[in-house]
A and B are shown apart, each in its own frame.
Chain A
C-alpha cells in the first residue's frame, strides 16, 4: 500500500490520493503546442465549447419535452417556447448550436485538409474526427425528429427509406428501424433514446479518442514543420521560452484559444438572439401529417452537399453515390499518396484540388437547396460528377507530387 502522510492542505490531501499535480502536468501545463499556428487551430476548442452548450441546453429541454406523437409538437412549440421561463433560450441555443457546430466542423476539417494534418502519424486523429462527424450527423438527424413537425416527419420518412437499399427492396429492414410501417410512436421514442443517450455517449467516447489520438503525434503547425517536442519542451522548461518552438497548453495556448472562443461566442449569441430563425425551418412549425408531403423536402444546410450527390441519379446509382460520399473522407489519409505534410499552397496540383473540392462542395450545397429543376438540376449533376472525379484524381495527382 502507498504511504500516506498527514495532509498539509486540501490540495495535498487530494494530491496524495488522486495525483492531481501529475494529472495537471500531463494534461495541461506540460502538454506542448507549437507556437507557429493561427486562429484556425482554435476550432477544436470552439467545438468542445459548442458541444458543452448543446449538452446544457439539451438538459433543460429534456425536462419539458414529451416524446409522444400527440404531445411532442406542443411540448416544444407551446410548453417550452411559451410557458417555461427562458425555455426559448434553451431551444434557440440548442437549435443554433446544432447548425453552427457543423459550420465549425467543416472549417476544422478543411483546415486539416489544407495543412495536411491527417498524415505522418496523424491518421488516427483524422479517422476519429470523421467518426465524430458521423456521430454528430446521426445526433443532428435524430434531434431533428423530436419536434415532430412536417419536416421532422418527412425527413424521417425519406432517410429511413434509404435503408430499403434501393433495388433490394429491404422494406422489412425499414419497418424494423421504424418499429412501424410509417414513422409513428415507436419511431419517435427510439430516436428520442438515440438522441439523448446512445449517440451522446458515443460522441463523448469519440471525443476522448480524438484527444487521445493527438497526444503522440502532437498538433500540426502551419508550416508542416516536424518539431522535436522532446527537445523543444526541454528548452522551454530550462527557461529559454523565446527560442523554444512550443508553448504550454495551459495557460499559454489556452489564452489565445479562449480569445478566439470569445469572438465566436459573440457571433454565436448574436445568432441566438437575433437570427435564430435561420436554424428553424418554417415548414417544421406545422405538426407532422403523414398524409401530406411538404412541397419541397430538403435537409438542413449541412447535409445538402451529400443530398445533392444523391439527387441527380436514379435510385440505385444515387444510393451508391450517397454511400460513397458518406465514407470517402475517411480514406483521405490513404488516398493522398504524397509524403508531404505541408500546407496545400506548397503542394502544386493538390492546392488546386483543395480549392476545387471546397468550391464543389459549396456548389453542391447551394444546388441541394433549390428545387431540382432546369439549369439547377444540370449544375447539380455536374457538381456531383466533379465530386467523384476529384476523389478519383486524388491518388494520381498526389502520387506524382514533388517532395518538398
Chain B
C-alpha cells in the first residue's frame, strides 16, 4: 500500500515535470518556426511618385511582395462613378474613392499586387482598365476594388507614409490608419 502510493506520487511528480517540459519545448519549437528578426526587419521601400505615367501599371517590390502602382488618368477619375461589379452590378464608387492616394495633386492606386483569394498576381488590362486573376477568374477595377468573385475584398494596401512626392512603404501614417478604420484594407 505504502509502496503503491509512493509510486503513484512519483508518477504524478514525473507527469508534472514532463508536462512543464513538454509545454516549454512546444514553445521553443513554435518560436523556432517564427520568421527571423532579419526577415521581419527587412526593408522599407521608398517610391518616387513623380516617375509614374498615367494608366501604366508599374510593379514595385516590398517585403518580397509585388506592389502595384497605377497613376490615375483624368478619364479614369471621371468614370469612377460608373465603376461597378461585373458579377452582381453593385457600385464600387464609394470604396474606390477611399482607396486612392493623393500625392502632389495626383491620384494613385498603390496596393499589394496579390489576389486576395489565394495570392496569385493578377494582370492589368490597360484597354479595359481592370485586373484579371488567371488562377480563379477574380477581377478588380482600376482602383483595386474587387468586381468579380472569388476574391473576398479589394487589393490590400500596404502601410504607407506620404513624404512630399515620396511614398515610404512599411511605415504607418494617419492616412493609412484612417483606411484601416474605414475598412478599406486589412
Binds B, one of A179-187, A213-221, A237-245: A179-187
Q: Which listed residue, B61, B63, B135, touches A158 by the CB 8 Å rule?
A: B135
Task: Classify chain A: how many residues form its interface, as a range.
Answer: 35 or more
Give A245 to B150 CA distance when docked, in angstroms. 57
Q: A176-B35, A297-B135 are in contact. Are A181 and B63 (CB under 8 A)?
A: yes
Are B117 and A315 closer than 8 Å at their CB atoms? yes
- CB closest residue in chain A, given B66: A291
Q: Which listed residue, B65, B117, B134, B152, touches A181 by the CB 8 Å rule?
A: B65
Are A179 and B63 closer than 8 Å at their CB atoms? no
Are B134 and A315 closer than 8 Å at their CB atoms? no
Are A180 and B64 closer than 8 Å at their CB atoms? yes
Q: A179-B33, A315-B117 are in contact. Are A291 and B39 (CB under 8 A)?
A: no
Q: A158-B119, A158-B135, A293-B135 are in contact. Are A315 and B152 (CB under 8 A)?
A: yes
Give A224 to B39 CA distance when docked, in angstroms. 58
* Closest CB in chain B relative to A247 CB, distance in Å: 47
Give A200 to B54 CA distance when docked, in angstroms. 53
Are B39 and A186 closer than 8 Å at their CB atoms? yes
User: Inside 8 A of A184's CB, which chain B residues have their CB?
Assistant: 39, 64
Q: A167-B152, A291-B121 are in contact. Are A372 and B136 (CB under 8 A)?
A: yes
Are B66 and A176 closer than 8 Å at their CB atoms? no
> Per-position contact with A for B119-148: 1 when CB-CB < 8 Å, else 0?
111100000000000111100000000000
Q: Is A330 an interface residue (CB 8 A)?
A: no
Give A296 to B133 CA distance when docked, in angstroms. 10
User: Inside 8 A of B150's CB, which chain A residues have their CB?
Assistant: 313-315, 318
Are B120 and A293 closer than 8 Å at their CB atoms? yes
Give A241 to B72 CA distance when docked, in angstroms. 86
User: Inside 8 A of A313's CB, which chain B residues have their CB?
Assistant: 150
Are A296 and B134 closer than 8 Å at their CB atoms? yes
* Closest CB in chain A relative to B24 CB, distance in Å: 19
Are B63 and A182 closer than 8 Å at their CB atoms? yes
User: Inside 8 A of B151's CB, which chain A residues have their CB?
Assistant: 315
Q: Is A19 an interface residue (CB 8 A)?
A: no
User: Inside 8 A of B118's CB, which chain A residues have their CB?
Assistant: 157-158, 161-162
Are A182 and B33 closer than 8 Å at their CB atoms? no
Are A176 and B34 closer than 8 Å at their CB atoms? yes
Are A182 and B134 closer than 8 Å at their CB atoms? no
Q: Is A38 an interface residue (CB 8 A)?
A: no
- CB closest residue in chain B, given A315: B152
Interface residues in A107-154 by Cβ distance below 8 A to B read: 154
Q: Is B49 an interface residue (CB 8 A)?
A: no
Give A373 to B134 CA distance when docked, in angstroms. 10
Q: Is B10 an interface residue (CB 8 A)?
A: no
User: Inside 8 A of B135's CB, which chain A residues have their CB?
Assistant: 158, 293, 296-297
Q: Which listed residue, B35, B66, B122, touches A290 by the CB 8 Å rule?
A: B66
Q: A158-B120, A167-B152 are in contact. Are A293 and B35 (CB under 8 A)?
A: no
Are B39 and A179 closer than 8 Å at their CB atoms? yes
Give A186 to B120 CA distance when docked, in angstroms. 20
Q: Is A11 an interface residue (CB 8 A)?
A: no
Give A377 to B33 CA distance when docked, in angstroms. 38
Q: A175-B35, A176-B35 are in contact. Are A297 and B120 (CB under 8 A)?
A: yes
Give A190 to B122 CA distance when docked, in angstroms. 28
Q: Which listed residue, A179, A291, A314, touches B36 by the CB 8 Å rule?
A: A179
Are A290 and B120 closer than 8 Å at their CB atoms? no
Are A169 and B119 closer than 8 Å at their CB atoms? no
Give A293 to B59 CA distance when docked, in angstroms. 13
* Closest CB in chain A relative to B171 CB, distance in Å: 16
User: Inside 8 A of B59's CB, which chain A residues have their CB?
Assistant: 291
> Per-position contact with A for B148-186: 1 when CB-CB < 8 Å, else 0?
011110000000000000000000000000000000001
User: Inside 8 A of B122's CB, which chain A residues have their CB?
Assistant: 293
> Per-position contact with B for A294-305: 1 when CB-CB < 8 Å, else 0?
111100000000
* Closest CB in chain A relative to B43 CB, distance in Å: 11
Q: Is A17 an interface residue (CB 8 A)?
A: no
Give A324 to B96 CA distance when docked, in angstroms. 36
- CB closest residue in chain B, given A174: B119
Contacts beyond the supplied A292-B121, A315-B117: 20 A-B pairs with Cβ under 8 Å: A154-B120, A157-B119, A161-B119, A167-B152, A169-B186, A179-B33, A179-B36, A180-B35, A180-B64, A181-B65, A184-B64, A290-B64, A293-B120, A293-B122, A293-B134, A293-B135, A295-B134, A315-B152, A372-B137, A377-B137
Task: List the 9 closest A-B pairs by CB distance, nearest first.
Answer: A182-B64, A293-B121, A161-B119, A293-B120, A181-B63, A158-B118, A157-B119, A161-B118, A291-B66
A–B complex contacts, Cβ < 8 Å, 27 sampled: A157-B119, A157-B120, A162-B118, A166-B152, A167-B152, A180-B39, A180-B64, A181-B64, A181-B65, A182-B64, A184-B64, A186-B39, A290-B64, A290-B66, A291-B66, A291-B121, A293-B120, A293-B121, A293-B122, A293-B135, A294-B134, A296-B134, A296-B135, A297-B135, A315-B151, A372-B137, A377-B137
Binding site for B on A (CB under 8 A): 154, 157-158, 161-162, 166-167, 169, 171, 175-182, 184, 186, 190, 290-297, 311, 313-316, 318, 372-373, 377
Binding site for A on B (CB under 8 A): 33-36, 39, 59, 61, 63-66, 117-122, 134-137, 149-152, 186
